[in-house]
Amino acid sequence: MLSSSLEQTYEAMFLVDSAEATANWSEIITVINTVMERAEAEVISLRKWDERRLTFEIAGRKRGTYILCYFKSAPSAISGIERDVQLNESLLRVLILRADPITEEAMQSPTPAMVKESAERKAAEETQRKAEEQARRKAEKAAEESGKEQSQNADETATAVAEKPAEPEPDESAVSPEPVSEEAQAEDKAIDAQAVTEEPVTDENDTEENKE
C-alpha cells in the first residue's frame, strides 16, 4: 500500500452495458473492485449512479449504466486503472477526476439511481397498501351483505311460522265406535249367508187352488 501522504481523492465514473449490469450486477462490482485492488486504491464509495440512453452507441450498446466510485490512490495509479478498463470487456468507459473538494458526506449522498429506486419502492408499497385496503373493504362489504341476507331469511322464516294456521285439536268428547269382536262378525256373516241360500216354502193348498 502506498503512503497516505502520496494519495489523492478521486472520483471515477464507470460505464457498463445496462443489460449486463441488470443480469450480472454483482460480477460488475467484482470487476471494478479487482481493478482498484490492482492499482492499490482505497475504495471509499461504490454505487450505481444512473441508467440512461447513450448519446451515441458504444460497442453496439444503446443504453448504459453509470457506476460512481470515490477512491484514494497515488496519482501514478490512475493510468493503470484506465488501462485495465480498456482491456476489460465488461467496462465500456471510465472518467476519473480529482475529488479533493468533495466531502465524505457528499460522497455518501443518494445517487439519482438510489432516489429513483426509493421512489419506485415507495410507489410499489403504496400500490400494495391500496390493494390490500381495497380487498379488506370488499371482504367487509361482502360479510355485511351476507349478514343482512341471513337476517332477512331469518325474518321471513319467523314470519312464515307466525302466519301458519294452527291445526285443530282433536275433539276428545267424540265417542269412537266400539270395536266389533271377531265372534260377532262371524255370526253376522253366517246369518247373511243363510238368508241368501234359503228357498221360500210353497203352500200346497195355494197350489191346488191356483190350478182350479
DSSP state of 101: T
Residue 167 lies in a domain: no
Q: Looking at the structure, tell me whether residues 99 and 12 fall in a common domain.
A: yes
CA atoms within 13 A on the CB side of 26: 0
Give the mean pLDDT of 30-56.
94
Of 73 and 166, more confident: 73
- The one-character DSSP state at 175 is P
- Which helix (H) or strand (E) is 75 found in, with range? none
The DSSP code for 93 is: E
Give pLDDT, residue 212: 45
Consecutive H or E run containing 48 = strand 42-58
Q: 52 and 129, same structural domain?
A: no
Instruction: Indicate if the pLDDT at residue 155 is higher than 70.
Output: yes
Q: How far is CA 177 from the centre of its chain?
A: 76
Residue 96 has pLDDT above 70, yes or no: yes
Q: What residue numbers bound the domain in which 105 lies?
A: 4-109
Does one domain contain both 75 and 105? yes
Q: How far apart are CA 162 and CA 158, in angstroms?
A: 6
- 39 against 207, higher pLDDT: 39
pLDDT band at 148 (very low <50, low <70, confident <90, very high): confident
- Shared domain check, 39 and 135: no
Closest CA to 115 of 63, 53, 51: 51
Pairing of strands 8-17, 61-73: antiparallel
For position 100, what pLDDT does the model report? Answer: 85
Helix, strand, or coil (residue 203): coil
Residues 124 and 45 in one domain: no
Mean pLDDT of the chain: 82
Q: What is the pLDDT of residue 180?
A: 59
Q: What is the pLDDT of residue 175?
A: 52
Q: Could you tell me if 135 and 71 lie in one domain?
A: no
Q: Mean pLDDT throughout 62-85?
A: 95
Confidence of residue 72 (pLDDT cuts 50, 70, 90): very high
- Give the confidence band of 108 by pLDDT, cuts at 50, 70, 90: confident
Q: Of all helices (H) and strands (E), which one includes residue 94?
A: strand 93-98
Across 106-116, average pLDDT:
87
Task: Give yes or no for a contact between 92 and 59, defined as CB atoms under 8 angstroms apart.
Answer: yes
CATH number of the domain at 11, please.
3.30.70.60
Domain identity same for 32 and 82: yes
Task: Provide mean pLDDT across the span 123-134.
Answer: 90
pLDDT at 177 over 90: no
pLDDT over 60 (residue 1): no
Higher pLDDT, 155 or 30: 30
What is the number of domains present in the chain?
Answer: 2
